[in-house]
Amino acid sequence: MAIKLPVYFDNHATTQVDPRVVDAMLPYFTDKFGNAASRNHEFGWKAEEAVENARGQIAKLINATPKEIVFTSGATESTNLAIKGVAEMYREKGNHIITQVTEHKATLDTCKRLEKYGYEVTYLPVEKDGRISLDDLRRAITPKTILISIMYANNEIGVLQPIAEIGKIAKEKGVFFHVDAVQAVGKIPVDVQREGIDLMSISGHKIYGPKGVGALYVRRKNPRVQLAAIIDGGGHERGMRSGTLNVPGIVGLGKACELCQNEMAAEAEKKSRLRDRLKESIMSRLDETYINGSTTHRLPNNINISFAYVEGESLLMGINDVAVSSGSACTSATLEPSYVLKALGVGEDLAHTSIRFGLGRFNTQEEVDYVADRVVETVSRLRELSPLYEMAKEGVDISKMKWVAASDSH
């Protein structure tokens, strides 16, 4: 069976917009182009109705109420609004925020900025499996703590944090709990009531919706969360986020959530079957491959594997008709290997050899088999080229060797 190349296995980065989402959006560019804030004519009413419908679709997916959904330009903005908004609003109460080291940069860099303004941030470490320790969390909470911000699922290794347990601790201590749920919403069941979540960031383009739109869930009761806005203006979104609403984007996000709601269970089952097939097919044929992160507390569509002795970028180059990501330094702008893998205690040597596979709604078994073959073939070829593989086969302990770096690098 012919498959279409290149194969897309990078669904943690972004996803294809579902054609059904596109269909839902299109009328809002042309016929129904109104401004949702126009209160005195039909164009505005239609736009507002569509926005409210989307609010309902999103709320339903996460067991919230429509009024608790604030539309943003994406999850980075949602996370900025949640953290900075709480920090400013509750400054009198305290200045301490707790997060953890494998968070997305949207969270980490927001916290870093707040540190410059006098806030104190605790970055919890993670265990080898990528999860935080609840005891560490309990110990970190002080009377000054106003917010705990922990991601639902990690974008590199797909590891799920113990969200419900964290939510419980946050409630006990009277601390707000923000969750970056970008990778989890629409992929696995997320329930803000059951899990005690007070604020939650959602992205459109990770769930087969459009880019440039996201949402922040903001709890309205038990407890009510108030936010200081970071974007001021016309007072849209109950003053929390000014700016004319991106109606087509919002319609798309709503439709994407509705599709996830209806199809999540079957889709998760399929993706986890394909993911396991990919993992088995690769790992049964290659020695010295290692899974990064927990294998049990993990998104159904993610696998992150280190291929010892083969540098990630060269592997990507060999499988250039397959779209995946690497934790290798060479693929990052900073020339540092993945900070997420480092936090797990994965050695830098192995971090350079890691590949993230992110399966999505539109992937097929034929694609999985093709990718597995390409990976096995390329890793085998590159190992023949690898002095490290040769040394390991000769029984040399590479970790005990004294290495000298290039004259000018680093």
Catalytic residues: 330
Inter-residue contact 360 to 11 (CB < 8 Å): yes
Question: Alpha helices of 163-300 — where are they, by DSSP H?
Answer: 163-173, 247-283
For residue 329, state whether it binds other proteins (rule: CB under 8 A).
Answer: yes
Query: Minimum CB separation from other proteins for residue 67, in Å?
Result: 46
For residue 406, state whether it binds other proteins (rule: CB under 8 A).
Answer: yes
Q: Which amino acid, one-letter code, is at 23?
A: D
> Between residues 280 and 336, which has the closer beta carbon with respect to other proteins?
336
For residue 396, state whether it binds other proteins (rule: CB under 8 A).
Answer: no
> Between residues 313 and 369, which has the closer beta carbon with respect to other proteins?
313
For residue 398, state whether it binds other proteins (rule: CB under 8 A).
Answer: yes
Give the contacts of 111 (CB within 8 A, at least 6 positions apart): 83, 97, 99, 119, 121, 123, 149
Q: Are strands 120-124 and 96-100 parallel, antiparallel or unpaired?
A: parallel
Structure tokens at 263: 């199809």
For residue 13, state whether it binds other proteins (rule: CB under 8 A).
Answer: no
Inter-residue contact 293 to 351 (CB < 8 Å): no
Question: Within 13 Å, how many C-alpha atoms sit on residue 171's CB side?
Answer: 17
For residue 400, state whether it binds other proteins (rule: CB under 8 A).
Answer: no
For residue 169, state whether it binds other proteins (rule: CB under 8 A).
Answer: no
Site for other proteins in 340-359 (CB under 8 A): 347-349, 352
For residue 387, state whether it binds other proteins (rule: CB under 8 A).
Answer: yes
Which one of 210, 337, 358, 360 is in contact with other proteins (CB under 8 A)?
Answer: 337
Inter-residue contact 68 to 198 (CB < 8 Å): no
Q: What's the order of all strands across the beta sheet hosting 145-151? A: 69-72, 214-218, 199-203, 176-180, 145-151, 96-100, 120-124
For residue 402, state whether it binds other proteins (rule: CB under 8 A).
Answer: yes
For residue 248, state whether it binds other proteins (rule: CB under 8 A).
Answer: no
Query: Minimum CB separation from other proteins for residue 108, in Å?
Result: 23
> Between residues 92 and 384, which has the closer beta carbon with respect to other proteins?
384
Render the burial of 74-85: b for 16+ CB within 10 Å, e for the rest. bbbbbbbbbbbb
For residue 377, state whether it binds other proteins (rule: CB under 8 A).
Answer: no
Which one of 233, 335, 345, 365 is in contact with other proteins (CB under 8 A)?
Answer: 335
Partners of 305 in beta bridges? 291, 355
For residue 410, state whether it binds other proteins (rule: CB under 8 A).
Answer: yes
Which one of 230, 274, 310, 379 is in contact with other proteins (CB under 8 A)?
Answer: 310
Binding interface with other proteins (CB under 8 A): 309-314, 317-318, 328-331, 335, 337, 347-349, 352, 384-390, 398, 402-410
